[in-house]
Amino acid sequence: MKFHKVDGGITAAQGFKAAGIHCGIKKNKKDLALIYSELPAHAAGVYTKNRFAAAPVIVSREHLASGGARAIIINSGNANACTGQQGLEDARMMAEITAKHLGLSAAEVVVASTGVIGEYLPMETVSAGIEQIVGSLSKQGGADAAEAIMTTDLAEKVTAYSLEIGGMKVTVGGIAKGSGMIHPNMATMLGFITTDCAIAPGLLHKALLYTVDRSYNLITVDGDTSTNDMVVALANGMAENPLITSENDDYHRFLAVLQRVNTELSQKIVRDGEGATKFLEVTINHAASFVDAKKLAMGILNSSLVKTAFFGEDANWGRIVSAMGQSDVDFRPELVNIWLGDLQVTKDGQGLRFDEGRAKEILQKKDIKITVDLGMGGETVTAWGTDLSYDYVTINASYRS
């Protein structure tokens, strides 16, 4: 398949506009974003499994049950989580005000929030901001929207690709935010996808679930799953490709480009991980199943001892095997081979004599690949994570201030 990287991010696909403004939730940074489809769109969402799901997650799940949506309103700086009935009323009010100014029904509006947990939204400020942002919608507003959803992020997460499907050019674009509290059990902190592909809502949802499990669900920064995690996709059909109603070749082409977008966004989140100095890529080869390989990869990446070893540039492969061994995956240690970059450090479950100088060269790089061969099956899974640095502790010791 020939993918084409295109500009525009969340507004790269036909029929989408966006905006991002400062409305006053934060002191001086953009804090309100809006994404809008000019035509009715099929919609799908994937949500956090954190038991303390935030009010906007609950409301958006209700609204997306119909399989359609036209707009997504997002605020940063306040999570509207653990805010009880008032929080639910505020999230619904955000949808209602947005719908009123766009001429939609409230059920056509998705609501998302990110920021500090346990504080009520300043609704007068938010309401005035929504009225303002609707007038700011434009085809060029994607970059502002990407900036407005950021919290501790240091960089915007934006990408878009096009691919021919059914003889027509189809585009998929997206934005995401996330830097800390990254250990998704469904998605990332926040991710939003737009496409002009014509695809049935059930298949859009299936494609989103599949690609989320192989992108955002394979990243980790600190092992914490947020209360507000959400990924939402809108598909308005303006590419005019034949409607995808079955898992045919067109569906698999769409799946491939959606996977490309979600994988790139998820990797951008890891690269922007709070305090991160290393980008770690763990590949598990020859596993018995996808689930087994995922558990092992994430077990390695979530180990504080593994993380600190890579921060210290110490080729301590013993921490890797220890992290694997404490999982509930059934594998044979005597078959395990491990590489750091292109340097093999274990063979058949036992340590090898290796060039410490070469190991140091590999670990001094920003991007480090760890490869584990289980020698048991045909499944391969790659996951991504970060090291654990002094700066991570500093950032999160004073997050509320």
Question: Start-end ranges of CATH 3.60.70.12 in the chain?
Answer: 4-271
Helix 317-325 to helix 290-302 angle, to the nearest 10 degrees? 130
- Reduce the DSSP state of residue 26 to 3 states and report it: coil
Among 3.90.1150.10, 3.10.20.340, 3.40.50.1110, 3.40.50.12780, what is the CATH number of 279-397?
3.10.20.340
Helix 84-102 to helix 123-134 angle, to the nearest 10 degrees? 20
* CA 104 – CA 388 distance, rounded (Å): 45
* CA 178 – CA 59 distance, rounded (Å): 21
**Side chain identity, residue 243:** L
**Catalytic (active site) residue 188:** yes
Single out the catalytic residue among 48, 151, 159, 188: 188
Q: Do 130 and 74 form a contact (C-beta atoms < 8 A)?
A: no
Question: Start-end ranges of CATH 3.10.20.340 in the chain?
Answer: 279-397
CATH class of 4-271: alpha beta
Q: Which of 130, 165, 342 is nearest to 243 (CA)?
A: 165
DSSP state letter for 243: P
Assigned token pair, 268: 């951008």
What's residue 187's pLDDT?
46
Which neighbouring-strand residues pair with 47?
230
Q: What angle do CA 157, 161, 167 make, to 5 degrees?
A: 160
Mean pLDDT by 10 residues, the chain (401 residues): 94 98 96 98 92 93 96 96 96 98 98 93 97 97 97 91 97 91 62 98 97 91 76 98 98 98 94 86 98 96 94 95 95 97 97 96 97 97 91 72 48
Kindly state the helix (H) or strand (E) to which residue 339 belongs, with its residue range: strand 337-340
**Terminal Cα distance for the chain, rounded:** 48
Q: Are strands 219-220 and 379-386 parallel, antiparallel or unpaired?
A: parallel
What's residue 103's pLDDT?
98
